[in-house]
Amino acid sequence: MKKFFVSLVLFASFFKARADEGMWLPMLLGKQVYADMVKRGLKLTAEQLYAINKSSIKDAIIIFGGGCTGEIVSNQGLIFTNHHCGYAAIASASSVADNYLKDGFYAANKDQEIETTLTVQFLDKIVDVTSEVEAGLKGLSWEERTKKLADVFQTITDKVADKENGKAGRIYSMFKDNQYIMYVYQTYRDIRLVGTPPESIGKFGGDTDNWEWPRHTGDFSVFRVYAAKDGKPAAFSKENSPLKPKYHLPVSIKGFKEGDFAMIYGYPGSTNRYETSYGIKLKIDLENPALVALRDMRLKNMYAEMVKDPAVKLKLASSYAGIANYWKFFDGESKQLLKFNTYATKQAYEQKFSAWAKGKTEYEKIMSDYSKNYTAWTPYSKHRQYLREGILGSPLGAFASSLIGLEAAMVKTGATGADIKKAADAANSQRNAFLQSEDKPSDVKILAAVAFAFYKDIDKSQHPIGFYEKLKAAYGDPREEASYKKWAEAVFANTIIFNDAKWNAFIASPDANVLQADPAFDFSASFVKNYNTKYASLFTVFTNKNNELGRSYVKGIMEMNPAAVNKMYPDANSSMRVSYGNVKSYKPRDAAFYDYVTTSKGVLEKYKPNDYEYDLPLKQLELFKKKDFGQYIDKAKNDLVIGFITTNDITGGNSGSPVINANGHLIGLAFDGNYEALSHKIEFDKDLNRTINVDIRYVLWCIDKLGGASNIINELTLIK
């Protein structure tokens, strides 16, 4: 196989890279797109964007928690990120008495900052390890490669591991396994909550405005990273000191105008822009509709309880937000893929590829093999979605399924008492966490609904043997919704999971017969084991074959389009990327125009007293009505700018990413995409794609004027 190294070439795509499209590798900006960035307005050198031996912008960009981006904004380790990225930590720090999620919080000094369980990771360097990986896999079949890949990765990353300094390597597959890049990170474990706006600001607009523009959400939160006195990563300790970073972003309150340059650094999670027409069809026809319907049901049942009780709202807040976010995304994705006729576009390209591949042994069967692979898996795809989003979408169902490991330990031949006790202790610990987050009134309805949905929507031949027969015998006709309500209530009433006395007796003397007779475990295990024994292997075969075909497909595309090889970026995969574009308005449809900014005027227009999504703090209302915006006012608008849009190419994982102007100054935080372009994971739309950002001036106004936390403002390097 011909080898392609990232330091020499860029891989081709079957789509020509267009203006504003691209999630670029920071180490190669100088060779790839730097000249175009300068033409678009950038005033920094390539070395200021990314450098190994001296500080650069990349040193201020962090992986925040497990799936967001953050940025360092002071020489004392201060972090800005999105409110929804810090949401779980804020909720965890809150109580009904001290409800920081509802009321907001700002530490007046460092002693008031709140411990969290978060971690952040700084990028140390990026290394192309393609040759090393390929050497370790030489001569292996695809199946053998798949099995050995993790060990090859481990051998390479072990060479850079430095536990004392918190450094570790992570290897990313690029261009469908045609290339491998190692990112070396340094992880810090003492992260403290410094500030958050009230939820009515941080989530203003709620689910209604999610993925929508115009937007008026103050989606930000503030944290700080601490280190041991020698600057090394350390667990939480009162003896730790704020980290002195290699670089921090200056913060501009000068504002911007339409057309101004904007770049975004971050860690975009995933895209699949090499997806085939077969994948598009499966997504549109089966996967997305199933996910959306099941999440919609779960959200409605959770919401019905959350609006009744502030304590329940606090308990379910983080889970609800996560479910809702991608419920709306996948609904919009399907609609946009259909609107833009992406399936037909992919088919047309594949026909051209097949014509080119005719007579080329390595490539001529790729499309027919894709067809066979999807044909074999499609009958079971919906089953998998209903298990993951339905059966395991019930919190009780999900927890009960985790007990399968305990069951395995108890029935395993030769298992020792120590083995069983270890599994029982783990289950007991997991139960404690589950009970703290469980809301029975919503979950009992979810449980009934998902069992009924599986019965109705999944082919009878794929049902777990005996489950619905037992339900019928005890609770009535499985074709009737009422039967499931009776069954679910009985499960909740009789499971040992909610009965402390019975659970404690079971943990003290674990008995497989007791667990297997439990109605919650019986339900969950019936469906999980049914899938694992009959269909999981089919999914593995499907996935492995798709990966093998994908690697060959991309390689073939490169050979078919050699002229396009000189400008391409890999799919997002949670590795650091840079995108660039401009501040820009757009026309979403005929006769409609969306400006590039929103202002306080729009917040007041949306305001609804005591509304779940559009309420506001009284102090904010007073300050807005007085136009008391201080130094954060936009003089051109004579108003406080709340949000703005740019043409940058981002995706999930970029939440909290810094939006940086031509001079390298922070002007906002990216937090969303627009509904009209939610097909962006698969297809970037050069006309409609927009990134939605909170203006940094609104962030600072909330901290300073509304929150009174001038101590935070004083830490920043303000550009006025």
Condensed to tens digits (0 to 9), the pLDDT of residues 484-503 reads: 999 999 999 999 999 999 99
The per-residue pLDDT for 314 is 86
Condensed to tens digits (0 to 9), the pLDDT of residues 230-263 reads: 999 999 999 999 999 999 999 999 999 999 999 9
Q: Which residue, 455, 454, 470, is CA-closest to 386? A: 454
The per-residue pLDDT for 414 is 86
Interatomic CA distance for residues 655 and 84, integer angstroms: 8
Q: Could you tell me the pLDDT band of residue 30, with boundaries at 50, 70 and 90?
A: confident
The per-residue pLDDT for 3 is 35
Interatomic CA distance for residues 50 and 33, integer angstroms: 13
Q: Could you tell me the pLDDT band of residue 8, with boundaries at 50, 70 and 90?
A: very low
State both tokens at 607.
């305001």
Report the percentage of the chain scoring pLDDT > 70.
97
Q: Could you tell me the pLDDT band of residue 32, with boundaries at 50, 70 and 90?
A: confident
The per-residue pLDDT for 500 is 97
Coil vs helix vs strand at 632: helix
Q: Could you tell me the pLDDT band of residue 388, with boundaries at 50, 70 and 90?
A: very high
Angle formed by the axes of helices 342-357 and 536-560, to 10°?
70
Provide the whole-model pTM: 0.89
The per-residue pLDDT for 321 is 85
What is the torsion angle, in degrees rounded to the nearest 10, for the CA atoms of residue 426, residue 429, residue 435 and residue 437?
Answer: -100
Domain parsing of the chain, residue ranges:
275-374, 394-534
- Residue 190: pLDDT above 80? yes
Element (H, E) at 156: helix 142-158
Residue 240 contacts residue 227 (beta carbons within 8 Å): yes
Residue 661 contacts residue 262 (beta carbons within 8 Å): yes
Residue 647 contacts residue 581 (beta carbons within 8 Å): yes
The set of catalytic residues is 84, 219, 655
Residue 682 contacts residue 273 (beta carbons within 8 Å): yes
Residue 128 contacts residue 6 (beta carbons within 8 Å): yes
Residue 299 contacts residue 323 (beta carbons within 8 Å): yes
- Residue 210: pLDDT above 50? yes
